[in-house]
Structure 1
Amino acid sequence: MPLSFSLADEPFLQVRYLDGRTSRLGLRGLFTDAAKIADFESPHPPAAAAMLRVLYGMAFRIAAAMEPALADGDVAAAPRQWLRARNSVLATGQFDPGCVQHYFDAVGAGLDLFDAARPAFQDPRLVQECVGTDGKPSPSGVNKLVAGRPSGVNGAILFGHGTDAAASPVHPGAAIWEVLTQSYFGPCGQCTPRRIKADKPGNGMIGPLRGTVSYHPWGPDLFTTLLLGLPCPDPDHADLAPAEPFPWERADLPDALAPAEALSWPAGVLTGRSRHAVLLVPDRENGQIIDAYVTWSTKAAPSPALDPYLIYDTGKGDELQPRKADLDRSVWRDLDALMMDRAGTSRPAIFRHTRWMPSHLRPQVRVRALGFAQERGQQRDFGWYSATTPPLVPWFHEHDPAMALRFEQCRTAAESLGKALQYAAKQAWADVVARGKIDAKKPGPWVEPTMTAYWSDAETIFWELTQSSNTRRPHLDFRSAAETALTTVISTQRRDIRIARALQHARALLWKAVPTPATPVGQ
């Protein structure tokens, strides 16, 4: 009997219901119960970021069956009309069970991980196209598939301790998360060679989300979360093609040598940016994944269209660059970049239309951040993180400009004092060792512990300062936190006159970072 693993019905998704219960569901069950589900679990944050984009696509199809205007090209050309149609689905309170059943019945074959002709999110041609000089299949190894396992030049071990010589097999319910992670976060450079016609290149291009942090609206239940996460159509950035199929809906396989086509909405925006192809190799006896092919899927240049869940910063030549995931940068330091656009920063498009979000939902919507710190141009992975903010939408610029500005002022004050503290810690060490001049290569032992202590306290101060009733000057509070961090670290040293003078000098440097209050007019 042929192997089968239906993502529609196999319980590979761990979910938490609103009443605290947990359960495992397939995609059909997830959408049927979405209004009762608070959250779903993933093996790691990049897998969640990838899965969300797939779930948004499925939510679009089911919602469009409930409200056909969502998939009407004329409506999509007028974003306000499209948002009204989305809100009409939100008002129903749940995905229609009949529409859910009909959809997953229709796409069932495309969601089978082991379908012979069209395995879900995979390319079955790789077994013939990824071959060695002897003509035999040349898979990449299961460790190449699983994020966090060491393989090749990427020696980082983020979880597990398998080796290429003794790679642990992967359950198919876990493997799908890794397939999606490769599709969105895979590296550029050397990969398993893939021969098509006369060409056999062994290098690929960067995954569309590699090294980035995504921001997603997070509602009180999964039904709301998925509908609020649907990207609003924007004809300036993607061709409006609501009928274009998603990968699991296609009957054919993409032409790997075809020139790039214009990115479409919503299928292309959500699921059409991958530069990697994957094929799982199961054990024919028990279905466990024992090997995998991971290679390039296209050589066409990626579309310049922006991802709707990323912050973009203006780089050299006014080119927009996605903000990088940074393990040392807490999510609160990016919140003002979600609340409003500023010169040099473009907020995620998914947050540009909160004015048309139902008013009763705004106070309930939080933001989920999902980041994967990686070298964008290399094959090194450093780590991942996730965070969920308190409700933020009522403070966005279109709803409360003063509060959005307050968030920005508090964040910039924290950054300013952080920069001053880093310099002061370096200078204090230079003063103590009698150089007086900072050595860029040897800044001293005080910088790292001082900055760690400061940023830990700064987050608490930030949330205190952004309470609506708080009008204190933010620089003063952050300066106090900076001085406390520096004093605590330096005080662990044996006290003498040099250390006392160095600390006094460092404190003076911190005060210089506090701007003088403006003098009222007429005084």
Structure 2
Amino acid sequence: MAGGPHPQARGVARHAPVPGPRARLLSGSWGAAATIRWGQGGGEALPSSARSINAGHTAGSWGGSGITTHSFNLLDEPWLPVVRMDGSTATLGVVETLTQAHHLRALVGETSTVTSALHRLLLAFLSRALGTVDDLRWQELWSAEGEGFPASELEEYAGRWRHRFDLLSSEQPFFQRPELKEAQGTAALVAFRAAKNNATLFDHSRDGEPRPLRPDVAARWLVTVHAYDTAGTKTPVARGSKKSEAPPTTQFGCVLIEGATLFHTLLLNLLEYAPQRNAPTSTTEEDRPAWEAPIASETAPRRAYGWTDLLTWQSRRVRLTQADQDGEVMIQGAVVSPGTCCRSELLEAEHMAAFRAPWFDQPSDSSEVAQRKKTKTSSLRPVRLDALRGVWRHSQELLLPPAQRWFKPRGNKGLGLSMDGFPEISPARLRPSALERIARLTDTGALPSDAVYTLRIFGQEWATGGSGMIGAWHEEAVPAPAALLRAANPRIGRLIGNAVALADDLASVLRSLERRYRQETDESFTRKEESQKEREGFRYESELQFWPQLPGAFAELLRELAALEDGAGGSGGDPRGEIRALWKWRDRVVDGADKAADRWVRRQARTGHTLLRASAHRERYRAHRQLVVKSFEREVVGHTAPPEES
């Protein structure tokens, strides 16, 4: 569920290293140029990366002095890591990836953040290349999956902006600022490298150490650094500020709807793009991706012009330094400086996030209280990933239609359970925008109602103390049955809410078990210090045992509820079947909590008073657990009765 500061694979993502990129060598001068592609014409094998050779041309042989430059155009050169349908891996250029997407299983980067950033880049490219993809056009593309995305439209758009995709260009390098000074060392570009005072566990790079990168690797991290770089002090530009803000993408779990092929995945996440009609929300006619923007664009804080601007947001100013190494062109340096700060409201501009209202959100003044009573909602915040508890706990926000979120308004003092002190105003929710189209097309019959998609959520967690260091990378999956996406039955939300609340409540009981035991046995224990440790990320031993047991069982529950809802045509489900599914979930969660409590008791010191105290707290846990389970059962039975006809 959580990743560390090192690359990690998913599924059949990577089996063996893929070959390095080919390179283009441009030789010539004063307007005369020739392109030599290695391996063509001369019979020479393709090298593993770009080469720095003058191709044997002497001064004047091209009508000039024989100036040599290099090119690595991301539209053509292999740099996007893909998984084919047979599980083999390869790297492809942007155009080939999109035109062959229906023959590819997935796009998978070195880390979850790389995967997320690369998908966002491809979605921006598709949005501009295909133009407005309304529901009718979307259905045409979906029905023609054997043909993939229209190659003519992709190639026409690529031709217009080809000059902006050259990673090694001296005038308009891709996602870079050519006016920046050169630097030695690539640690600032690669997140798991140690750089300056940002030490990492498994890397011991030193400042100034070259650690050269192949152009394809550097390109992937270049895209990622704009989306997921840390905040804090960066290399200043001239007399500019050293301080930088965290990119907007770091503030939420990026949700990707995954299909059977990369073509399905990209199409499922493609929004209707019509800037002239402000679609999607907050998109203006000024919207453009980074490669269409002037190279010397402003860096003052501003709002995003629209969807593709946000997808390719230039949160940093970067310059890569290339050099010849043993006859190959490598990236041996990278300078990363503060870029443009985003002032857009995520709720309005970001469409790959889910939003929720926090349970306990104190209004700042009386006017805000009045406004919330009027709107019956509180401020929405993006759903983020949690290293321990899992993003499945936010299934209401991720899957269900926009509405006020269900909660339990009862009280039970002393245990810190979910029914303690809830606000009178029901919290709201908002799912990722692409799911609205899927639900709509499922309703019309364009998509099957029994389909089960996968929501893959990517995120980055800061280390304790702020956003200056990365604590972990996350990638989680939640099943997204179409029957739940289109469910008009409000009881579904209550049942899912009950299921999540049961797990939360039992986790609270486990925390109470350990906390009260420590309070009795540890003379240095104070509630204030304990609360501070919890805020800083301290996790109780029993919780660490409990939460990892639940994601699989919850995914099974979602599928069973979806099957019942689909069988009823979305009109009300099967109450008895829902009770059976919830009872199965109850048994799995209670069993997991009991095992976690038993393991904790067995690990305590088996001596005199200590053992007796642990056993007493174990019995208290059992009593509190029974209260939670009985409350859950009453709620489920109360919500599964068919609604009365009006």
TM-score over 0.5 for the pair? yes
Cα offset, 1:114, TM superposition: 0.8
* Whole-angstrom distance in 1 between the partners of 2:139 and 2:479: 23
Structure-2 residue corresponding to 1:506: 621
2:308 paired with 1:267: yes
Structure-2 residue corresponding to 1:228: 268
After superposition, where does 1:211-360 map in structure 2 within 5 Å? 211-232=251-272, 237-241=281-285, 244-250=287-293, 252-257=295-300, 260=302, 262-271=303-312, 273-285=313-325, 286-298=328-340, 301-302=343-344, 305-314=348-357, 317=363, 318-340=378-400, 341=402, 342=405, 343-357=427-441, 358-360=446-448
* Whole-angstrom distance in 1 between the partners of 2:233 and 2:223: 19
Residue number among 437, 446, 449 corresponding to 2:541 in the alignment: 449
Structure-2 residue corresponding to 1:95: 149
Cα pair distance change 1:401/1:287, threshold 3 Å: farther
* Whole-angstrom distance in 1 between the partners of 2:474 and 2:634: 40
* Whole-angstrom distance in 1 between the partners of 2:118 and 2:214: 17
Structure of greater Rg? 2
* Whole-angstrom distance in 2 between the partners of 1:332 and 1:403: 15
Q: Is the 8 A contact 1:148 1:160 kept in 2?
A: yes
Q: Which amino acid aligns with 1:372?
A: Q
Structure-1 residue corresponding to 2:590: 479
Q: Is the 8 A contact 2:75 2:94 kept in 1?
A: yes
Q: Which amino acid aligns with 1:366?
A: T
Q: Is the 8 A contact 1:424 1:509 kept in 2?
A: no
- Bigger drift between 459-468 and 49-58 goes to 459-468
- Bigger drift between 389-398 and 184-193 goes to 389-398
Question: Which SS does the other structure have where 1:150 is aligned?
Answer: coil
Q: Is the 8 A contact 2:543 2:596 kept in 1?
A: yes
Q: Which amino acid aligns with 1:283?
A: A
Question: Which SS does the other structure have where 1:256 is aligned?
Answer: coil
2:522 paired with 1:407: no
Q: Is the 8 A contact 1:310 1:347 kept in 2?
A: yes
Cα offset, 1:124, TM superposition: 1.0
Q: Which amino acid aligns with 1:335?
A: S
Q: Is the 8 A contact 2:112 2:473 kept in 1?
A: yes
Residues 245-271 of structure 1 deviation map (CA, whole Å, 9 limit, x = unaligned): 3222345431224x63x5333322422
Question: Which SS does the other structure have where 2:503 is aligned?
Answer: helix
* Whole-angstrom distance in 1 between the partners of 2:548 and 2:381: 28
Structure-1 residue corresponding to 2:47: none
* TM-score of the aligned structures, taking structure 1 as reference length: 0.83
Cα pair distance change 1:316/1:189, threshold 3 Å: farther
* Whole-angstrom distance in 1 between the partners of 2:279 and 2:99: 32
Structure-2 residue corresponding to 1:204: 244
Cα offset, 1:309, TM superposition: 1.2
After superposition, where does 1:159-170 map in structure 2 within 5 Å? 160-170=203-213
* Whole-angstrom distance in 1 between the partners of 2:282 and 2:530: 49
* Whole-angstrom distance in 1 between the partners of 2:498 and 2:269: 28
Q: Is the 8 A contact 2:451 2:482 kept in 1?
A: yes
Cα pair distance change 1:412/1:231, threshold 3 Å: farther
Question: Which SS does the other structure have where 1:389 is aligned?
Answer: strand
* TM-score of the aligned structures, taking structure 2 as reference length: 0.68
2:573 paired with 1:458: no
Cα offset, 1:57, TM superposition: 1.3
Q: Is the 8 A contact 1:153 1:380 kept in 2?
A: no
Cα pair distance change 1:90/1:401, threshold 3 Å: farther
Structure-1 residue corresponding to 2:512: 423
Gaps of 5+ in 2: 1-67, 364-377, 406-426, 562-576, 639-646
Residues 410-464 of structure 1 deviation map (CA, whole Å, 9 limit, x = unaligned): 1221112111211122223445x287987564699x9733112111223344344
Gaps of 5+ in 1: 71-81, 128-136
Structure-2 residue corresponding to 1:108: 162
Cα pair distance change 1:250/1:284, threshold 3 Å: farther
